Amino acid sequence: MKTKDVALVLSSGGPRGWAYIGAIEELESRGYNITSIAGTSIGSLIGGIYAAGKLSEVKEWLFSLDAWKVFSLMDLSISKNHLVKGDKVIGAIKEIVPEIDIEDLMIPYRAVAADLYTGEEVVFDRGPLFEAVRASISIPSLFRPVKYGFRTLVDGGIVNTMPIDKVPRSGNDIVVAFDVNDVDVESIRQTVINEARQEEDRLRAERELDAETRIVLNSVRHNSTLTLKDKFMLAKAQGEKILLHKLNDEEPEPELLFEDSYYSILSRTFSLMNHVIARTAAERYRPEVLVKMPFDAYGEIGDYARAREISEAGRELMKAALDEYETTTKL
């Protein structure tokens, strides 16, 4: 009989981290026993909440959040080195999950942060849980960095986005790692190519229509047999044709791959960086189960208000990964 003890690893990934809620529920519903957990950034938050035994309560709160409530949790700052203080959201969660030390959690837990100046990895295995979480989620330039002794700490994703090597092991467990920063390079490349072709087709059609319009108008202008009224009606008809072309264009102007807002660019940059780090970790440590979610599935700040949907997506991804694992190992 194969073991069902799980050392769970949760990567960084912003709002995609809500996928961990459904993923954990899927693990438990299938009889797996999570015996330890390690996480970075949003992974440290959900992992810590689970280790404190409060996932169901926090889930209920997260599912109640709408876009306005999410915005209200952002304690904006006028500081020159960050946009959000980050204390308000932690305070809201602490109303549900009382402050607790890591060594008093139900299972062994690790959270990863990074020293902003030395680049060193800082692993929390003791002390106040939310001090560790607050450091681990401190995305540079978005959240205020955390002072920790002589260190200045930021998001652990810049050094170890999927800390497979930091999760405590029991000797009789399997590693289940969830990476929510997966990148399908070929798919993105094809999307860019298709959008470029659509744009070329649209511009070509406009050029052809403009050329036709010039021909018609010149013909009308220099035709001495037409009355002024006839010329006006022909010009009007050509104008209506242009308008109909605009309204009924079969190739609408393509949307950008992502909205070029400050948060979107920052999120996309971190996700691409985290993908490379996570891929390297997966290749080196080879977890028994590796679950992947595309980094561009949920990347907008408004997606924090889509916890229910993202959680279900995480459940489905975990289900598929466990089905494959159990079939392969005949569990």
Instruction: Give the 3-state secondary structure of the chain.
Output: CCCCEEEEEECCCHHHHHHHHHHHHHHHHCCCEEEEEEEECHHHHHHHHHHCCCHHHHHHHHHCCCHHHHHHCCCECCCCCCCECCHHHHHHHHCCCCCCEHHHCCCCEEEEEEECCCCCEEEECCCEHHHHHHHHCCCCCCECCEEECCEEEEEHHHCCCCCHHHCCCCCCCEEEEEEEEECCHHHHHHHHHHHHHHHHHHHHHHHHHHHHHHHHHHHHHCCCCCCHHHHHHHHHHHHHHHHHHHHCCCCCCCCCCCCCCHHHHHHHHHHHHHHHHHHHHHHHHCCCEEEEEECCCCCCHHHHHCHHHHHHHHHHHHHHHHHHHHHHHCC
Strand partners, 196: none
Angle ∠(237,243,247) on CA atoms, nearest 5: 140
Mean pLDDT of the 174-187 span = 84
**Residue 131 CB neighbour total at 10 angstroms:** 19
For CA atoms 140, 141, 146, 147, the dihedral sign is positive
**How much of the chain exceeds pLDDT 90, in percent?**
54
Please state the rounded mean pLDDT for residues 100-109: 98
Mean pLDDT of all residues belonging to the chain: 83
In the predicted structure, residue 221 carries a pLDDT above the cut 60: no
- 174 forms beta bridges with 6
φ/ψ of 314, rounded to 5, equals -65, -40
Has residue 253 got a pLDDT over 50? no
User: Which of the four pLDDT bands, split at 50, 70 and 90, describes residue 254?
Assistant: very low
Q: Convert the pLDDT of each residue in 60-97 to its tens digit.
A: 999 999 988 888 888 676 666 656 776 888 999 999 99
Catalytic residues: 41, 155
pLDDT surpassing 90 at residue 161: yes
Provide the angle, in degrees to the nearest 10, between the axes of the packed helices 129-136 and 87-94. Answer: 150
Question: Do 74 and 98 meet the contact criterion of CB atoms below 8 Å apart?
Answer: no
Please give the distance of CA 150 from its chain centroid, rounded to a whole number: 31
Q: 203 or 118: which carries more pLDDT confidence?
A: 118
Which one-letter amino acid corresponds to residue 195?
E
pLDDT value for 275? 82
What is the value of pTM for the model shown?
A: 0.77
126-157 pLDDT, tens per residue?
999 999 999 999 988 778 899 999 999 999 99
Amino acid code (one letter) for 109: Y
* Most confident region among 174-178, 233-237, 278-282 by mean pLDDT: 174-178
Q: What residue has token string 């005949």?
A: 330
- Check residue 144 and give its pLDDT: 86
**More confident site: 230 or 283:** 283
Q: Which comes out higher in pLDDT, residue 64 or 278?
A: 64
pLDDT at position 242 is 55
CB 177 within 8 A of CB 164: yes
